A = this chain, B = another copy of it.
Amino acid sequence: MVDKATQLLDDYGIADLTMRRLARELNVTPGALYWHFADKQELLGAVADRILTPALAEVVADWQGRITAICGQLRDALLSHTDGAELVSASFAAGRSTAATELLARLTDAAASAGVAPAHAGLAARTVVYYVLGFTADEQSRLQWDAAGAALSDGQSVLGDDDPGVRFAFGVRLLIDGIAARQPQRL
């Protein structure tokens, strides 16, 4: 069920991931889905959890390394599925992905390790998540847009400032520096 939904997402995108279409693909009536899921959001949350599973690999490192790793794994996971960033963003906002909640908890932990006051660590973590989701949704929509169209004009650069990975890392470092400045005092 979640398998077929994920496959539908990958093959046709989030706009075509409808309850009716999923039912058709499973050779059941639309109503049948409502015995397994309370509503569409719950189904999407389950798909989000599936997408996020690879991003839950544990990492042993200092707090900067943990944040960098989680951000990178999260972005990779989102980019691995058509409209992945958009779907996970929606499920995260609706609070219907437990995996997203777990990821947030780990970032909160890392922020606390950085010396951010307990009351603020969760805020710092959310700031990071908003960035990764926003950046990746943006990247993915451009990516998918010119995948279906121009055969990438390429432009000038050889290796650098317009590589999405490099651009992504810029923001991650910005956030890490901002978090570092949240320590009670610099040592």
Report A's interface with B, CB cutoff 8 A.
93-94, 119-120, 123-124, 126-127, 129-131, 133-135, 137-138, 141, 161, 167, 170-171, 173-182
5 inter-chain pairs at a CB distance below 8 angstroms, sorted by A residue, are A126-B135, A127-B171, A129-B134, A130-B130, A134-B134
Of chain B, the residue at the smallest CB distance from A171 is: B127
A163 to chain B, nearest CB (A): 12
| Nearest opposing residue in chain B for A179, CB measure | B174
Nearest B residue to A142 by beta-carbon distance? B95
Question: Which 7 A/B pairs are nearest by Cβ-Cβ distance?
Answer: A130-B134, A178-B178, A177-B181, A174-B178, A177-B178, A127-B171, A119-B161
Query: Of the candidates B126, B141, B171, B178, which one forms a contact with A93 in the assembled complex, judged by CB atoms under 8 Å apart?
Result: B141
Write out the residue numbers on chain B whose beta carbons fall within 8 Å of the beta carbon of A171.
Answer: 123-124, 126-127
Chain B residues, CB < 8 A from A130 = 130-131, 133-135
Q: Which residue of B lies closest to A135 (CB)?
A: B130
Which residues of the other chain, B, contact A181 by a CB distance below 8 angstroms? 174, 177-178, 180-181
CA distance A119 to B75 in the complex (A): 22
Closest beta carbon of chain B to A148's beta carbon, Å: 16
The residue among A127, A129, A174 with the most chain B CB atoms within 10 A of its own CB is A174
